[in-house]
Amino acid sequence: MIDLISELTKHGYTTRLTGTSLALKIIDDLLNILKENDVDSFINKYLDVIRFLEKERPASMASWNILRMVGEYLLSNGISGLNEYLQYLKNKIEKDSWEAAKIAANRVVDGDVLMTISNSLAIRKMFKILVDEGVKFTVYVLESRPGMEGLDTTSYLDRLGVKTYLIVDSAARFFMKNVKKVFVGAEAIAVNGAVVGKVGTSLLCLTANEARVRVFVVAPLYKFSFETIYGELIELPEGDWRLLMNEEVRKTLPENYTARAPLYDVTPPHLIDGIATEYGLFAPQAVPVLLRQVYGGFPPKLRPINEIVKELLELRGGFR
Protein backbone atom coordinates (compact mmCIF):
# COMPACT_ATOMS: atom_id res chain seq x y z
CA MET A 1 0.00 0.00 0.00
CA ILE A 2 2.88 2.35 0.85
CA ASP A 3 4.42 1.70 -2.59
CA LEU A 4 1.08 2.47 -4.26
CA ILE A 5 0.71 5.78 -2.44
CA SER A 6 4.30 6.65 -3.29
CA GLU A 7 3.62 5.97 -6.97
CA LEU A 8 0.38 7.99 -6.91
CA THR A 9 2.15 10.89 -5.24
CA LYS A 10 4.45 11.11 -8.24
CA HIS A 11 1.43 12.03 -10.30
CA GLY A 12 -0.29 14.49 -8.00
CA TYR A 13 -2.10 12.50 -5.31
CA THR A 14 -2.13 14.46 -2.08
CA THR A 15 -4.00 14.52 1.19
CA ARG A 16 -6.03 17.71 1.54
CA LEU A 17 -8.46 18.58 4.30
CA THR A 18 -12.06 19.21 3.30
CA GLY A 19 -13.61 22.56 4.20
CA THR A 20 -15.40 21.09 7.22
CA SER A 21 -12.36 19.06 8.34
CA LEU A 22 -10.21 22.19 8.16
CA ALA A 23 -12.69 24.13 10.32
CA LEU A 24 -12.69 21.34 12.90
CA LYS A 25 -8.88 21.25 12.92
CA ILE A 26 -8.75 25.01 13.45
CA ILE A 27 -11.04 24.68 16.47
CA ASP A 28 -8.81 21.92 17.89
CA ASP A 29 -5.72 24.09 17.35
CA LEU A 30 -7.38 27.01 19.13
CA LEU A 31 -8.42 24.73 22.00
CA ASN A 32 -4.83 23.55 22.38
CA ILE A 33 -3.40 27.06 22.51
CA LEU A 34 -6.14 28.02 24.98
CA LYS A 35 -4.63 25.58 27.48
CA GLU A 36 -1.88 28.14 28.04
CA ASN A 37 -4.56 30.43 29.47
CA ASP A 38 -2.90 33.44 27.85
CA VAL A 39 -5.04 35.79 25.81
CA ASP A 40 -2.20 37.25 23.75
CA SER A 41 -1.00 33.77 22.74
CA PHE A 42 -4.53 32.90 21.70
CA ILE A 43 -4.91 36.07 19.64
CA ASN A 44 -1.55 35.47 17.97
CA LYS A 45 -2.65 31.96 17.02
CA TYR A 46 -5.98 33.34 15.80
CA LEU A 47 -4.16 35.83 13.56
CA ASP A 48 -1.80 33.10 12.30
CA VAL A 49 -4.80 31.04 11.21
CA ILE A 50 -6.21 34.04 9.34
CA ARG A 51 -2.93 34.55 7.51
CA PHE A 52 -2.89 30.86 6.60
CA LEU A 53 -6.43 31.03 5.23
CA GLU A 54 -5.70 34.16 3.23
CA LYS A 55 -2.79 32.40 1.55
CA GLU A 56 -3.93 28.78 1.26
CA ARG A 57 -7.72 28.53 1.64
CA PRO A 58 -9.33 31.94 0.98
CA ALA A 59 -12.57 30.32 -0.20
CA SER A 60 -13.03 28.07 2.85
CA MET A 61 -16.14 29.69 4.32
CA ALA A 62 -16.53 27.15 7.12
CA SER A 63 -13.24 28.30 8.62
CA TRP A 64 -13.90 32.00 8.01
CA ASN A 65 -17.31 31.82 9.65
CA ILE A 66 -15.88 29.98 12.66
CA LEU A 67 -13.18 32.62 13.04
CA ARG A 68 -15.80 35.36 12.82
CA MET A 69 -17.81 33.81 15.65
CA VAL A 70 -14.72 33.19 17.79
CA GLY A 71 -13.50 36.76 17.22
CA GLU A 72 -16.88 38.25 18.16
CA TYR A 73 -16.97 36.13 21.32
CA LEU A 74 -13.45 37.18 22.28
CA LEU A 75 -14.25 40.87 21.83
CA SER A 76 -17.41 40.57 23.93
CA ASN A 77 -16.27 38.18 26.68
CA GLY A 78 -12.51 37.92 26.62
CA ILE A 79 -11.10 34.49 27.38
CA SER A 80 -13.72 33.61 29.98
CA GLY A 81 -15.80 30.63 28.86
CA LEU A 82 -14.03 30.46 25.50
CA ASN A 83 -13.15 26.78 25.93
CA GLU A 84 -16.82 25.87 26.30
CA TYR A 85 -17.75 28.08 23.35
CA LEU A 86 -15.20 26.40 21.08
CA GLN A 87 -16.50 22.98 22.11
CA TYR A 88 -20.02 24.19 21.34
CA LEU A 89 -18.94 25.30 17.85
CA LYS A 90 -17.23 21.99 17.23
CA ASN A 91 -20.32 20.03 18.25
CA LYS A 92 -22.55 22.30 16.16
CA ILE A 93 -20.45 21.74 13.03
CA GLU A 94 -20.68 17.98 13.50
CA LYS A 95 -24.42 18.12 14.14
CA ASP A 96 -25.19 20.47 11.24
CA SER A 97 -23.15 18.46 8.74
CA TRP A 98 -24.97 15.27 9.76
CA GLU A 99 -28.35 17.02 9.47
CA ALA A 100 -27.53 18.32 5.99
CA ALA A 101 -26.36 14.83 5.00
CA LYS A 102 -29.66 13.34 6.23
CA ILE A 103 -31.65 15.83 4.14
CA ALA A 104 -29.60 14.90 1.06
CA ALA A 105 -29.93 11.17 1.78
CA ASN A 106 -33.72 11.51 1.59
CA ARG A 107 -33.37 12.21 -2.13
CA VAL A 108 -31.80 8.81 -2.81
CA VAL A 109 -33.91 5.71 -3.41
CA ASP A 110 -33.09 2.04 -3.87
CA GLY A 111 -31.29 1.35 -7.13
CA ASP A 112 -30.09 4.92 -7.71
CA VAL A 113 -26.83 5.47 -9.55
CA LEU A 114 -25.02 8.54 -8.23
CA MET A 115 -22.04 10.60 -9.31
CA THR A 116 -19.80 12.80 -7.19
CA ILE A 117 -16.50 14.62 -7.22
CA SER A 118 -13.71 15.24 -4.70
CA ASN A 119 -13.88 14.15 -1.05
CA SER A 120 -16.63 16.11 0.71
CA LEU A 121 -17.10 15.15 4.36
CA ALA A 122 -20.83 15.90 4.16
CA ILE A 123 -21.18 13.68 1.09
CA ARG A 124 -19.35 10.88 2.88
CA LYS A 125 -21.76 11.22 5.79
CA MET A 126 -24.65 10.98 3.35
CA PHE A 127 -23.22 7.74 1.98
CA LYS A 128 -22.86 6.38 5.53
CA ILE A 129 -26.50 7.21 6.32
CA LEU A 130 -27.67 5.46 3.15
CA VAL A 131 -25.67 2.33 3.95
CA ASP A 132 -26.93 2.28 7.55
CA GLU A 133 -30.52 2.58 6.26
CA GLY A 134 -30.01 -0.33 3.88
CA VAL A 135 -30.41 1.70 0.67
CA LYS A 136 -28.77 0.02 -2.32
CA PHE A 137 -26.96 2.40 -4.64
CA THR A 138 -23.98 2.69 -6.96
CA VAL A 139 -21.54 5.60 -7.23
CA TYR A 140 -19.36 6.99 -9.99
CA VAL A 141 -16.52 9.01 -8.45
CA LEU A 142 -14.48 11.45 -10.52
CA GLU A 143 -10.75 11.16 -10.00
CA SER A 144 -10.80 14.87 -9.06
CA ARG A 145 -7.54 16.30 -10.30
CA PRO A 146 -5.50 18.10 -9.15
CA GLY A 147 -5.03 16.22 -5.92
CA MET A 148 -7.02 13.12 -6.92
CA GLU A 149 -9.20 13.34 -3.81
CA GLY A 150 -11.65 11.03 -5.55
CA LEU A 151 -9.35 8.16 -4.61
CA ASP A 152 -10.07 8.87 -0.93
CA THR A 153 -13.83 8.89 -1.55
CA THR A 154 -13.60 5.65 -3.53
CA SER A 155 -11.61 4.02 -0.74
CA TYR A 156 -14.23 5.16 1.79
CA LEU A 157 -17.09 3.78 -0.30
CA ASP A 158 -15.23 0.50 -0.72
CA ARG A 159 -14.96 0.19 3.07
CA LEU A 160 -18.73 0.77 3.28
CA GLY A 161 -19.28 -2.03 0.76
CA VAL A 162 -20.76 0.23 -1.93
CA LYS A 163 -20.34 -0.66 -5.60
CA THR A 164 -18.14 2.16 -6.92
CA TYR A 165 -16.55 3.17 -10.21
CA LEU A 166 -13.54 5.49 -10.16
CA ILE A 167 -13.43 7.41 -13.45
CA VAL A 168 -11.20 10.05 -14.97
CA ASP A 169 -12.68 13.56 -14.82
CA SER A 170 -13.03 13.82 -18.59
CA ALA A 171 -15.29 10.73 -18.66
CA ALA A 172 -18.10 12.36 -16.65
CA ARG A 173 -20.19 13.08 -19.75
CA PHE A 174 -19.63 9.58 -21.14
CA PHE A 175 -20.97 7.91 -17.98
CA MET A 176 -23.68 10.48 -17.19
CA LYS A 177 -26.20 8.46 -19.21
CA ASN A 178 -26.03 5.83 -16.45
CA VAL A 179 -26.56 8.32 -13.61
CA LYS A 180 -29.77 9.29 -11.80
CA LYS A 181 -28.50 12.03 -9.45
CA VAL A 182 -25.34 14.07 -8.85
CA PHE A 183 -24.25 15.08 -5.34
CA VAL A 184 -21.43 17.54 -4.68
CA GLY A 185 -19.99 19.33 -1.68
CA ALA A 186 -19.03 22.99 -1.46
CA GLU A 187 -16.22 25.17 -0.21
CA ALA A 188 -18.57 28.15 -0.20
CA ILE A 189 -22.09 29.21 -1.20
CA ALA A 190 -22.66 32.76 -2.47
CA VAL A 191 -25.78 34.74 -1.66
CA ASN A 192 -27.14 34.21 -5.18
CA GLY A 193 -26.86 30.43 -4.76
CA ALA A 194 -23.67 30.01 -6.80
CA VAL A 195 -21.46 27.21 -5.50
CA VAL A 196 -17.69 27.34 -5.08
CA GLY A 197 -16.45 23.77 -5.20
CA LYS A 198 -13.58 21.57 -6.25
CA VAL A 199 -12.46 22.48 -9.77
CA GLY A 200 -14.40 20.33 -12.18
CA THR A 201 -17.65 20.68 -10.23
CA SER A 202 -19.06 23.26 -12.65
CA LEU A 203 -18.29 21.02 -15.64
CA LEU A 204 -19.86 18.05 -13.87
CA CYS A 205 -23.01 20.09 -13.14
CA LEU A 206 -23.14 21.37 -16.72
CA THR A 207 -22.91 17.81 -18.00
CA ALA A 208 -25.67 16.73 -15.62
CA ASN A 209 -27.86 19.63 -16.70
CA GLU A 210 -27.44 18.64 -20.35
CA ALA A 211 -28.48 15.08 -19.51
CA ARG A 212 -31.38 16.28 -17.32
CA VAL A 213 -29.85 14.69 -14.24
CA ARG A 214 -30.67 16.46 -10.98
CA VAL A 215 -27.80 18.08 -9.05
CA PHE A 216 -27.79 18.48 -5.27
CA VAL A 217 -25.26 20.36 -3.16
CA VAL A 218 -24.74 19.30 0.46
CA ALA A 219 -23.73 22.42 2.39
CA PRO A 220 -24.61 23.36 5.98
CA LEU A 221 -25.17 27.04 6.66
CA TYR A 222 -21.62 27.50 7.92
CA LYS A 223 -20.51 27.18 4.27
CA PHE A 224 -22.43 30.32 3.22
CA SER A 225 -20.45 33.46 2.35
CA PHE A 226 -22.11 36.43 3.99
CA GLU A 227 -19.60 38.84 2.47
CA THR A 228 -21.04 38.18 -0.99
CA ILE A 229 -24.20 39.97 0.15
CA TYR A 230 -22.19 43.17 -0.01
CA GLY A 231 -20.72 42.45 -3.42
CA GLU A 232 -17.42 40.94 -2.30
CA LEU A 233 -16.00 38.19 -4.50
CA ILE A 234 -14.76 34.83 -3.27
CA GLU A 235 -11.09 34.42 -4.11
CA LEU A 236 -10.27 31.17 -5.88
CA PRO A 237 -6.72 29.94 -5.14
CA GLU A 238 -4.53 28.34 -7.76
CA GLY A 239 -1.59 25.99 -7.43
CA ASP A 240 1.37 25.03 -9.60
CA TRP A 241 3.15 21.86 -10.70
CA ARG A 242 3.50 20.67 -7.09
CA LEU A 243 -0.17 19.68 -7.22
CA LEU A 244 0.41 17.59 -10.34
CA MET A 245 3.67 15.76 -9.67
CA ASN A 246 6.59 15.44 -7.31
CA GLU A 247 10.10 16.84 -7.74
CA GLU A 248 11.37 13.63 -9.30
CA VAL A 249 8.87 13.85 -12.18
CA ARG A 250 9.34 17.60 -12.50
CA LYS A 251 13.05 17.15 -13.22
CA THR A 252 12.23 15.05 -16.29
CA LEU A 253 10.36 17.97 -17.90
CA PRO A 254 11.80 20.97 -19.80
CA GLU A 255 13.39 23.63 -17.60
CA ASN A 256 10.93 26.33 -18.71
CA TYR A 257 7.92 24.11 -17.96
CA THR A 258 5.05 25.90 -16.23
CA ALA A 259 1.72 24.61 -15.03
CA ARG A 260 -1.51 26.11 -13.73
CA ALA A 261 -3.63 24.11 -11.33
CA PRO A 262 -6.85 25.85 -10.28
CA LEU A 263 -8.31 24.31 -7.13
CA TYR A 264 -11.90 25.57 -7.25
CA ASP A 265 -14.47 26.81 -9.72
CA VAL A 266 -17.91 28.42 -9.53
CA THR A 267 -21.11 26.65 -10.52
CA PRO A 268 -23.93 29.08 -11.40
CA PRO A 269 -27.24 28.55 -9.56
CA HIS A 270 -29.22 27.60 -12.66
CA LEU A 271 -27.23 24.35 -12.87
CA ILE A 272 -28.21 23.33 -9.32
CA ASP A 273 -31.54 21.77 -8.35
CA GLY A 274 -31.23 22.00 -4.59
CA ILE A 275 -28.92 22.85 -1.68
CA ALA A 276 -29.27 20.50 1.30
CA THR A 277 -28.71 22.36 4.57
CA GLU A 278 -29.44 21.50 8.19
CA TYR A 279 -32.66 23.51 7.78
CA GLY A 280 -33.92 21.58 4.77
CA LEU A 281 -33.56 21.44 1.00
CA PHE A 282 -33.70 24.80 -0.78
CA ALA A 283 -33.47 26.04 -4.34
CA PRO A 284 -30.37 28.22 -4.85
CA GLN A 285 -32.63 31.22 -5.50
CA ALA A 286 -34.09 30.82 -1.98
CA VAL A 287 -30.80 31.49 -0.18
CA PRO A 288 -31.78 35.06 0.85
CA VAL A 289 -35.09 33.76 2.23
CA LEU A 290 -33.25 31.10 4.24
CA LEU A 291 -30.80 33.63 5.67
CA ARG A 292 -33.63 36.00 6.62
CA GLN A 293 -35.45 33.17 8.39
CA VAL A 294 -32.39 31.99 10.32
CA TYR A 295 -30.91 35.37 11.25
CA GLY A 296 -34.13 37.32 11.68
CA GLY A 297 -33.46 39.78 8.90
CA PHE A 298 -31.73 40.36 5.62
CA PRO A 299 -28.96 41.12 5.25
CA PRO A 300 -27.80 39.38 8.45
CA LYS A 301 -26.11 41.76 10.88
CA LEU A 302 -22.71 40.13 11.04
CA ARG A 303 -19.45 41.92 11.64
CA PRO A 304 -16.89 41.66 8.80
CA ILE A 305 -13.83 39.62 9.72
CA ASN A 306 -11.45 42.46 8.84
CA GLU A 307 -13.15 44.71 11.41
CA ILE A 308 -12.81 42.00 14.06
CA VAL A 309 -9.10 41.60 13.29
CA LYS A 310 -8.54 45.36 13.45
CA GLU A 311 -10.21 45.60 16.86
CA LEU A 312 -8.32 42.60 18.20
CA LEU A 313 -5.03 44.15 17.13
CA GLU A 314 -5.94 47.40 18.88
CA LEU A 315 -6.99 45.65 22.08
CA ARG A 316 -4.28 43.00 22.22
CA GLY A 317 -2.66 43.14 25.61
CA GLY A 318 -5.68 44.84 27.17
CA PHE A 319 -7.82 41.73 27.77
CA ARG A 320 -8.38 40.24 31.19
Stretch 47-65: mean pLDDT: 95
Straight-line distance from the first to the last Cα atom of the chain, in angstroms, rounded to the nearest whole number: 52
Between 141 and 294, residue with greater pLDDT? 141
Stretch 274-283: mean pLDDT: 97
Between 26 and 35, residue with greater pLDDT? 26
Stretch 278-307: mean pLDDT: 90
Range of weakest confidence among 4-13, 24-33, 39-48, 194-203 = 4-13
Rounded Cα gap, residues 147 and 8, in angstroms: 10
Range of weakest confidence among 20-34, 124-138, 179-193, 246-260 = 246-260
pLDDT recorded at residue 120: 96
Assigned fold of 1-320: Rossmann fold (3.40.50)
pLDDT recorded at residue 38: 82
Q: H or E stretch including 282?
A: strand 280-282
Stretch 306-312: mean pLDDT: 89
Rounded Cα gap, residues 182 and 115, in angstroms: 5
pLDDT digits (tens, 9 = 90+) for 139-155: 999 999 999 999 999 99
pLDDT digits (tens, 9 = 90+) for 233-265: 899 999 888 888 888 888 898 988 888 899 999
pLDDT recorded at residue 98: 98
pLDDT recorded at residue 1: 44
Stretch 267-274: mean pLDDT: 98
Classify 81 in phi/psi space as left (phi over 0), alpha (psi -120 to 50) or beta.
left
pLDDT recorded at residue 227: 87
pTM across the whole model: 0.93
Rounded Cα gap, residues 231 and 299, in angstroms: 12
pLDDT recorded at residue 106: 98
Range of weakest confidence among 128-137, 152-161, 232-241 = 232-241
Q: What angle is formed at CA 74 by the lines to CA 98 and CA 296, rounded to 5 degrees?
A: 55
Stretch 130-147: mean pLDDT: 97
Between 200 and 39, residue with greater pLDDT? 200
Given pLDDT bands bounded at 50, 70 and 90, which one contains residue 81?
very high
pLDDT at residue 316 greater than cutoff 70: no
pLDDT at residue 211 greater than cutoff 60: yes
pLDDT recorded at residue 125: 98
Domain ranges in the chain are: 1-320
Between 6 and 318, residue with greater pLDDT? 6
The mean pLDDT of the chain is 92
pLDDT recorded at residue 6: 75
